[in-house]
Amino acid sequence: MDDLLADFLTETNEGLQNLDGALLQLEREPANGPLLSEVFRTVHTIKGTCGFLGLSRLESVAHAAENVLGLWRDGTLTVTPAGISLILNAVDRIKQIVAGLEASGQEPSGDDTALKAELDAVAAGQLPTEPAPRAPEAPAPQAALAEAAPAIEAAPPVPEIRAPAEPVAEVVGGSAPQTIRVAVDVLEDLMVLVSELVLTRNQLLQLARSEENAAFSVPLQRLSQITSDLQDGVMKTRMQPIGNAWQKLPRLVRDLSQELGKRIVLDMRGAETELDRQVLELIKDPLTHMVRNSADHGLESPEQRRAAGKSETGRIMLNAFHEGGHIVLEIGDDGRGLNTERIKAKVLAQGLTTEAELATMNEREIHRFIFRAGFSTAAAVTSVSGRGVGMDVVKTNIERIGGAVDLRSREGHGSTFIIKIPLTLAIVAALIVEAGGERFAIPQNGVLELVRVGDGDGPKVERIKDAQVLRLRDRLLPLVPLRRILSLSEDTPPADSGESFVVVTQVGAQLFGIVVDRVFDTEEIVVKPVAPILRHITMFSGNTILGDGSVIMILDPNGIARATGLGSEIAGDSATRATQTSAVARGPRQTALLLFRAGEGAPKAVPLALVARLEHLPAERVEQAGDSMVVQYRGSLMPLLPIAGYGAPPTGGGDQPVLVFGDGDRALGLMVDEILDVVDAVLDIDQAGQRPGFLGSCVVNGRVTEILDTAHWLQQAKEDWFGNRRAEIVRPRVLIVEDSAFFRNLVVPAVTAGGYEVTTVSNGREALALRDADEMFDVIVSDIEMPELDGFGLVSAVREGGIWADLPMIALSGRCEPEDVARGRGAGFSDYIGKYDRDALLASLQDCLQPAVAS
C-alpha cells in the first residue's frame, strides 16, 4: 500500500468516525444548517479523493449519497428519518469498502446497484415510505479478545478507532492546538522502552539501598524523578476518552429502536473520562453487548410502559468516572428490572443449585446467576439476544483485564451494571509478598487492607470445620492460604500456627483474604504477559522483573477466587456463607457476646449483632444539650447514655469507650468503662435479681455476667426510638422549584425541619425532566417568575397529564393581591401564598397533604 493511499484511508476513517453521530443529531435537528454542511463536506471530500485515486466503486456510492445531502443542504428536499436511514446505509457501505481497501490495498468487489438506485430515487423526490434495511457491516479487525468474540453473538463488530475524534467546530479567533499523526506502533515501542527504563531505575534503587554512596544518591533521585515524569508523559499518549468506545452506540440504539419497535433515548455522561487505549479496545464488545441487552431485555414496549405509568420513551444511561486507580462504568436502564422469581425458576430448571440453597440466598445473589454460561430468561431467541451467551463472556472478559462487574436491579424500575476496570495494563503499583519461599506481586488497586495475624493480641485465624476464616470487625472473611493453592510447600505449617499476613481483597461484591508469609514493599512494576506454557493457570495475570533482576509472577485475585470456589456464582456471597456456617458450628443456642465493664459489680454483655460500632471518643467531645449528653458523630448529633449511674456525665479526661447502636440513619451511644472481649456463649439467662436495664444474668467464661436489655436503653433516648420510626420512613417528599439560590437556602431548612424530604430544582424544565424520569413527589412548591419555564407554564404542563397530574401544587409569589391569587388558582395551583410567609407555607403543605395522610 503506497503512502498516498495510506493517508487517504487515515483521513477517511477520521471523517467517517463522526458521521454516524452527526447524522443522528441531524435527524433530531433537521434545520441545523451548519451540521448538514459539515456532513456534506465530509462525503464530498471522500468522493473527490476517490476520483483522484481511481476508486470507482467508492466514488459512485459517495456520489449518490452526496446528491441527496446536497439537495437537503439547498432546501430542495426535506430531511426525513427514512432519508437519514438511507444515508446511514450508504455510510455503512463506504466503511465496508474502506475496510476492504485496508485489508488488501484494492477495492473489494460488490454490487451497489440497489443502494444507489434508492439514493437516486430520493434525489428525484421519491421518498421511501419505510426506513431502508441496514447495509451489511464490514468484518471487525482482529482484537485482543478474539477468542471470546464469537461467543457474543448479539454484538455487532466494532471497527477499529485509530485516533481520537477531532472536534467538528473550530475555535474562532483562538489558536488551535498543534497536532501530528503518530503510528500506534511507534507509541507502543516507546512504551516498551519506558518500561525497560523503569526496570533499570528499580535496579539502581535496589543497589543504592544496599550500598551507601552519597555521590550517587542525588543524581539517582533526579533520574528517578525524570523516569516517573517520562512514564506519565508516555502514558498520556496512550490515554483516550472513553467516548471513543461509545461512538457506535447512538447508531446502535437507533437501529435497535426501529428493530424492536421501542422508543429509546441514550444518555451518555463522562465521555471525556480517559483510560488506556489497550483497555479501551478490550471493553468495546462487552459494552456493546450490555447496551443491546438493556434495549432488548431491560426496556419494555411503549404499551407496557404506559400500563406501568411510565413515559413511553425508555432511557439507557451510560456513565463513566474515575474512582481511585480505576474507571467505573455504569450501564443502566429504567425498564422492567430483573424478575427474581423467573430467575429462581430457571436456576432450578437448569440444576444450577438446590431449592434449599436458593432459599438462603438474598436477591442480589440470585440476580448474579445471569452471569452463568448458558443462562437466559428470554422467552424466545431473537436476532438480538436470548441464546444464553454474552453476560458470562462479558464477565470473563472484564475480569481478564483485572476488572470486576456487578449489578443492582429493582423489579419495575430498571437495572444497572457496574464495571470497574483499571486505568492501564502496562505499569501498575503492586504489593510484593512472599509465600513458601517464593515472591509474588499483587496489584495494589485490588488490596483493601493488610492484616497481621497470629500470636499476640491482634486478630487470629479461626477454623470452621476445614475452612480458615478471619474475624475482622463485624464479619467473617474466608481465607485462601497462598502456599496451599499454589502447592509451594507440603510441610509448611498452616496459616493459623504462627505469625503471617492476610491481604484483604475484593472480587465483585466478595471479600476474602489471601494468606502470605511475609510482606516486603510496594513497587511500580512493568506487566509482562504470561508465557504460553502457564496460561492455563488462571491465578496469574502476568509476570514482572524486580529491581534485583528476579522474575516473579503477578497474582490475579479474580483467578484465585475462581480457583478456590469463592468466585462461583452458586456460592454467592462467601462472607455471608461463612457467617451462616459459623452460626451452625457454634450451635443453635450460642451467641456472640460483647463483654464490657460499666460501674461496680459483675461484668456486662450485649449480643454483638446489636452493636453497630465500637468507638473510643475523647471525653472532651461529650457535650451537654439541655438535660441530655450528645456528641457530634458522623455529621449529626448522637445522644449518649452512661450505663454506670444513669444520668451522670463522664468524669476525667482520656478516651470514652462507647457502644454505638444504629438503625438506618439514627444512632445512640452507650458509655461504658471498658470494652473487654468478644466471646461465644450459651445464653441461659437467670432473671433472679433482675434490675431495670438488664435482662438478667448468665455464666460467661466462668463468671456471672449481666445481660444488657438493649430495648430499655433505646427507650431512654429523648426521641422515641420505636414509635417514630415509621413516620420517619414515610416522610412526604416535596419538590421546590425556585430559581433564586438565596430563597432556596432560606426555605429548604424550614421545610426540612417540618418533617419533609426536600428536592430542589432551579426552573420548570428541570422539574419536568424529573417527571419524565418517573420521579414521584407528594407536593410541588413552585415560584411564579422563573427563566425558561415559569410557574404558570409548569402548572399547565403538569395538569395536561402524566404521573404528576393530580399532585397538589403550591404557588409562591411576591405579589399576593386577590387578582393574583385568583389567577393562580385558575391556572391549576392548589394554593397561592406569599413568598416570605414561612408559617403559611408549612400550613399549606399540611393542608395539601391531609387527604394523603388520612388515607
HEC profile for 126-188?
CCCCCCCCCCCCCCCCCCCCCCCHHHCCCCCCCCCCCCCCCCCCCCCCCCCCCCCCCCHHHHH
Nearest CA to 563 out of 583, 585, 541 is that of: 541
CA 448 to chain centre: 18
Between these two residues, 802 and 743, which has the higher pLDDT value? 802
Q: What mean pLDDT comes out for the span 177-190?
A: 71
CA 752 to chain centre: 30
Q: What mean pLDDT comes out for the span 364-393?
A: 64
d(CA 604, CA 762): 55
> Does 853 score more than 70 pLDDT?
no
d(CA 556, CA 514): 11
Q: What mean pLDDT comes out for the span 310-331?
A: 83
Confidence class for position 77, pLDDT limits 50, 70, 90: confident
Q: So what's the pLDDT on residue 781?
A: 92
Residue 85 in grid coordinates: 436511514
Nearest CA to 656 out of 610, 617, 707 is that of: 617
Q: What mean pLDDT comes out for the span 448-472?
A: 73
Between these two residues, 130 and 582, which has the higher pLDDT value? 130
- Which residue reads 399532585 in cell numbers? 807
Q: So what's the pLDDT on residue 780?
A: 93
Mean pLDDT, the chain, rounded, equals 75
For residue range 295-314, list pLDDT tens digits in order.
Answer: 888 888 899 888 888 888 89
Residue 316 in grid coordinates: 439507557
d(CA 665, CA 473): 20
For residue range 579-637, list pLDDT tens digits in order.
Answer: 333 333 333 346 778 888 888 778 888 887 777 777 777 777 888 877 778 888 766 78
Position 243, amino acid = G
Nearest CA to 394 out of 288, 474, 308, 500 is that of: 288
- Which residue reads 470445620 in cell numbers? 465
- Of 110-124, 212-226, 259-273, 411-425, least confident by mean pLDDT is 212-226
Q: What mean pLDDT comes out for the span 804-810?
A: 90
Q: Are 830 and 809 in contact (CB under 8 A)?
A: yes
Between these two residues, 568 and 851, which has the higher pLDDT value? 851
Helix H segments across 646-790?
Answer: 710-715, 725-729, 741-753, 764-772
d(CA 499, CA 516): 10
Residues whose CB is less than 8 angstroms from the CB of residue 849 and which lie 6 or more positions away in sequence, other chains included: 732, 778, 779, 808
Confidence class for position 145, pLDDT limits 50, 70, 90: very low
> Does 699 score more than 60 pLDDT?
yes
Q: Are 416 and 408 in contact (CB under 8 A)?
A: yes
Q: How many CB atoms lie within 10 A of CB 644?
A: 15
d(CA 558, CA 401): 10
Percent of the chain with pLDDT over 70: 77
For residue range 530-583, list pLDDT tens digits in order.
Answer: 666 676 677 887 778 776 677 888 888 877 877 776 654 433 343 344 333 333
Task: Give 303-363 as a DSSP string.
Answer: HHHHHTT--SEEEEEEEEEEETTEEEEEEEESS----HHHHHHHHHHTTSS-HHHHHT--H
Q: So what's the pLDDT on residue 4?
A: 66
- Which residue reads 471530500 in cell numbers? 45
Q: Over the Cα atoms of the chain, what is R_g?
A: 33
Percent of the chain with pLDDT over 90: 2
What are the residues facing 642 on neighbouring strands?
671
Residue 344 in grid coordinates: 429462581
d(CA 164, CA 532): 33
Confidence class for position 212, pLDDT limits 50, 70, 90: low
With the C-alpha atoms ordered 488, 491, 496, 500, is the resulting torsion angle positive or negative? negative
Winning range, highest mean pLDDT, from 265-274, 321-330, 495-504: 265-274
Between these two residues, 244 and 93, which has the higher pLDDT value? 93
Confidence class for position 162, pLDDT limits 50, 70, 90: very low
- Which residue reads 499518549 in cell numbers? 237
With the C-alpha atoms ordered 758, 763, 768, 774, is the resulting torsion angle positive or negative? negative
Q: What mean pLDDT comes out for the span 745-760?
A: 78
Confidence class for position 151, pLDDT limits 50, 70, 90: very low
- Of 486-490, 516-520, 640-644, least confident by mean pLDDT is 486-490
- Which residue reads 440513619 in cell numbers? 665
d(CA 90, CA 101): 17
Confidence class for position 406, pLDDT limits 50, 70, 90: confident
Compute CA distances 369 → 142, 237, 372, 814, whole Å. 30, 39, 5, 57
- Of 90-94, 494-498, 566-570, 685-689, least confident by mean pLDDT is 566-570
> Does 765 score more than 50 pLDDT?
yes
d(CA 239, CA 198): 19
Confidence class for position 133, pLDDT limits 50, 70, 90: very low
Q: What is the pTM of this model?
A: 0.47
Instruction: For each of the domains in the chain, give its residue range(s) and CATH number, in order of start.
Output: 3-139 (1.20.120.160), 184-238 (1.10.287), 243-422 (3.30.565.10), 427-578 (2.40.50.180), 587-725 (2.40.50.180), 730-854 (3.40.50.2300)
> Does 1 score more than 70 pLDDT?
no
> Does 19 score more than 70 pLDDT?
yes
